[in-house]
Amino acid sequence: MLDRRRLLHSAATAFAGAGASWLLPAPAARGQDAAGDYAGFVANVRREAIRQGLTADGVTRALALSAPNQKVIERDRNQPEFHLTWAQYRARVLTQRKVDDGRAAFARQRAVLEQQVLTRYDVSPGAVMGIWGLESAYGTLTGNFGVVDALCTLAYEGRRARFFRGELFHALAILNAGDISPESMTGSYAGAMGQPQFMPSAYLKYAVDIDGDGRRDIWHSIPDIFGSIAAYLAGSGWVGGESWGQQVSVPDSVAQSELGHARTRTLGAWMKMGVQQVGGAPFARPDMTGAVLRPDGPGGESFMVYRNFAAIRRYNPSDFYALAVGLLGNEIA
């Protein structure tokens, strides 16, 4: 979930640039709205939403809010900052329990994933399962904050107000389309919704109706959940039939400055620098390009990552997160 990502060395703005088809002008900071208080702020949002063409009754129902949500404010202002090493992050995130639960979930839902989703999107089942596992523990931890309540509070508070105001209007547009009711639109304190933990802008761009009921339900419908994650990956450049990456051996003599997800070389060039597959076998395609990550420096684990790693990273721009998704998916599927 988004409100846990900073805790786990990830970016809290994973979806800031995703899917924004329109954004309203930036609001005034708190205390500068029409009435100088929360009621005035909400009234201004309501008027603007109706002016944008949203249904008055639906907007009024969604914005039946009397005060900022203090729990949201507390969570936003008091996020613990843990600077974890990759080894620490991996130990926390890729537990045997997470792997076992993922294998059981995959066994239950494999037919849905392979027959309804992967026939439309040529992505890896492991990547879909890995994201589902990290985002919501296979649907068990999705957050119980009202999304409109949370976003309205964060837009009013002024910290990153422009971003959260935009997401608030995206959320109102989703409600206006009838995909979900205000009461059922729940998520994290930061507005990340449903089992894939999409921000509203990402929902508008990538959420899909796979089960054919006319609604894009990322809260309850497994086909829609898997399909929306797959659509996100496909839209982010996933290349079918290719791996996201693999663990490799890198000589300690290779400088850390030569590594990183943006420093790509052919596998042949990497081999000349001493990079090998685990076990020492040469890479099968020396003409293929990749980048080497060694998150904890010499002596730590190293990985060769390919262009599908970048697609995972667009879901959440963190090397740790993308590595965890890939490794978890390998264990599950």
Would the pLDDT of 265 be above 50? Answer: yes
- Provide mean pLDDT across the span 87-97: 97
**Distance, CA of 69 to CA of 242 (rounded, Å):** 45
The pair of structure tokens assigned to 24 is 């309203």
Is the dihedral angle over the CA atoms 265, 268, 273, 277 positive or is it negative?
positive
- Confidence band, pLDDT 50/70/90 cuts, at residue 126: very high
Report which of 214, 152, 206 is spatially closest to residue 180, judged by C-alpha positions.
214
- Identify the residue with better confidence: 128 or 5: 128
Q: Where in the chain is the domain with CATH 1.10.8.350?
A: 2-78+142-212
What is the model's pLDDT at position 36?
A: 55
- Provide mean pLDDT across the span 52-72: 95
**Distance, CA of 3 to CA of 32 (rounded, Å):** 28
Could you confirm whether domain 2-78+142-212 is CATH 1.10.3720.10? no
Judged by average pLDDT, the poorest of 26-30, 110-114, 128-132, 327-331 is 26-30
- Confidence band, pLDDT 50/70/90 cuts, at residue 26: very low
Would the pLDDT of 269 be above 90? Answer: yes
**Distance, CA of 147 to CA of 194 (rounded, Å):** 10
What is the model's pLDDT at position 330?
A: 98
**Distance, CA of 302 to CA of 249 (rounded, Å):** 6
**Distance, CA of 148 to CA of 156 (rounded, Å):** 12
Distances (CA, A) of 141 to 16, 133, 198, 211, 237: 22, 10, 14, 22, 28
- Provide mean pLDDT across the span 131-147: 97
- Provide mean pLDDT across the span 192-219: 98
pTM of the model: 0.88
**Distance, CA of 70 to CA of 98 (rounded, Å):** 32
